[in-house]
Amino acid sequence: MEDDTLSDFLSFPPSGMSTIDMRKASIISTDSYTDEKFDHVPTGLKPKEPNFGLLFDIDGVLLRGSTPIPEAKVAMDLLKGKDGKLRVPIAFVTNSMSPPDVKRKLLESTFNIQLELEQIIFAPSPFKSFSQWHNHKVLVVGQGDIREWARDLGFTDVYTMDQVAKAYPLLDMVDHENRKTVAKGYTEDKEFPRIEAIILLGEPTHWEMHLQLLIDLLVTDGKPDHKPETYPDSHLPILACNMDLLFMAQASMPRFGHGAFLVCLESLYERVTGHPLRYTALVGKPSEITYRFSEHILSKTSLRLGYTRPIRKIYFFGDNPEVDILGANLYNMYLRRYRRLSGGREVAPPEQAKLDKKAAVATSRTVPADATFLPQTARGVESVLVQTGVYKPADRDKRQLTQPQNCHRDFLGATDLVLPSFEVVDVLEGMKLLLLEEHFNPKLA
């Protein structure tokens, strides 16, 4: 397609691109997506197929609460063909845990699109790929209907903290009412099964009780009916999601998120045992596991659209540099390591698992070896930071963006990775930019 035709479609002439504030992160600008070695398109493919996919954070990028950002509706329309259907693979990535079908209906009605439920990726969604733990006896922590969430994620033998507290009534002594109850007599459930893994879906209520009982389980290998002779330097597997330290709600100041609960658990465990707490997995943004899972969903969506051209580039739209942009750039770094290790080849699942492990930088951020993902084909990620949500240009000096502020412990050291590939006013400006860069007009696809 000629540039002027595409520009007319977008009402966004190429000369206008100079007005867009494009702040390239140095780590991104040194990479290349046009290497002939990686950009070969086999003969016989449809010429109008996109070889890119789009990932969107929701709140602050597309919506504010349940209210759409006006420019977002126009931006989504740009991705539709003449028949009104989406012509580009997309998915939505959020660290929230809203009821999935409610969120899908909201997005579908707001933007007049049709979505599969899997295209909305919540913080715990990647746990679906951790089949190694699906048939273990797992303790699930969070709020709401966490048992249903756990079952939907694939876990088949689920227990809650209320069940643990009831089985071992002497453990929760912070609750003075429980002290009074126990003083009148109690019964310990000797048959209560040993917990084999802990799944942290989100911050619970009654943190003090949860912190106490979690540490009790960790130091007793899941059976807190005895005092350990020594504290082991290893513990039960812990799989946690959503490491956000703070989040914005209606209050004037940020509120503690699940990341704050994790900080308390880590600190108390190390203070009590003398050993650091180690996570088997951390998912949700900014974990590379979540972005790999998201690429898998984009590839499935592309196939569902009838495309045969593989996803080569991913664009991620976010409003939080320390979560969305950091995660996108971390995954871009992961892809560069993976590509270097594979020599640019597309590999079969057994070898892919080995490369995933080699490309990872921490155990807690490693894609599970038994994950049944479609082949990894993306060569890079472009992070697009919008100014309609958490991030505001006037919030702080740009120089301060080169150091993440509230990263989880396992993500520290990722300097320079909170700078976006592009900074735009809103998602509409970013959409016009990427369609021009890709020379792709959905109306002709």
Contacts of 21 (CB under 8 A, 6+ apart): 423, 424
Residue 24 in this model has a pLDDT that exceeds 50: no
- Is residue 432 within 8 A of residue 384, CB to CB? The reply is no
**HEC profile of 124-179:** CHHHHHCHHHCCCEEEEECCCCHHHHHHHHCCCEEECHHHHHHHCCCCCCCCHHHH
Domains 3-123+287-444 and 131-283 alike in fold: yes
CATH architecture of 131-283: 3-Layer(aba) Sandwich (3.40)
Return d(Cα 306, Cα 174) in angstroms, integer. 58
Higher-confidence position of 34 and 374:
374
**Residue 11, pLDDT score:** 64
Residue written as tokens 């959905």?
442
What's the CATH architecture for 3-123+287-444?
Answer: 3-Layer(aba) Sandwich (3.40)
Tens digit of pLDDT for each residue in 391-403?
888 765 554 555 5
Higher pLDDT, 25 or 416: 416
- Please choose, from the candidates 441, 316, 421, 318, the residue with its C-alpha nearest in 3D space to the C-alpha of residue 20: 421
Q: What is the pLDDT of residues 62-87, one digit of tens each?
A: 998 889 999 999 999 999 999 999 99
203 vs 343, higher pLDDT: 203
**pLDDT exceeds cutoff 90 at 181:** no
For residues 185-203, average pLDDT = 92
Instruction: State yes or no: pLDDT of 437 exceeds 70.
Output: yes
Q: Are 89 and 127 in contact (CB under 8 A)?
A: no
Summary mean pLDDT of the chain? 86
- Tell which wins on pLDDT, 14 or 155: 155
Q: Mean pLDDT lowest for which of 16-30, 380-394, 404-418?
A: 16-30
Give the pLDDT confidence score for residue 40 in this predicted structure.
41
Q: Tell me: the pLDDT tens digits for 151-162? A: 999 999 999 999
Q: Residue 241's closest CA among 333, 364, 331, 139? A: 364
Give the pLDDT confidence of 238-289 residue by residue, as tens digits. Answer: 999 999 888 777 677 878 999 999 999 999 999 999 999 999 999 999 999 9
- Tell me 308's DSSP state: -
Q: Cβ contacts of residue 183 below 8 Å, gap of 6+?
A: none
Longest alpha-carbon distance in the chain: 82
Q: Which residue has the higher pLDDT, 96 or 196?
A: 196
Q: What does the pLDDT read at residue 191?
A: 94
123: left (phi over 0), alpha (psi -120 to 50) or beta: alpha
Taking only the tens place, the pLDDT of each residue in 302-337 is 999 999 999 999 999 999 998 999 999 999 999 998
Q: From CA 158, how far away is CA 306, in angstroms rounded?
A: 38
> pLDDT at position 340, please?
83
pLDDT category of residue 92 using cuts at 50, 70 and 90: very high
Range of weakest confidence among 23-27, 120-124, 251-255, 319-323: 23-27
Q: Cβ distance 433 to 33 under 8 Å?
A: no
Q: What percent of the chain has a predicted confidence (pLDDT) above 70?
A: 83
User: What is the model's pLDDT at position 65?
Assistant: 85
Is the pLDDT at 43 greater than 70, yes or no?
no
Indicate the domain borders of the chain: 3-123+287-444, 131-283
Report whether pLDDT(25) > 70: no
pLDDT surpassing 80 at residue 227: yes
Confidence of residue 167 (pLDDT cuts 50, 70, 90): very high
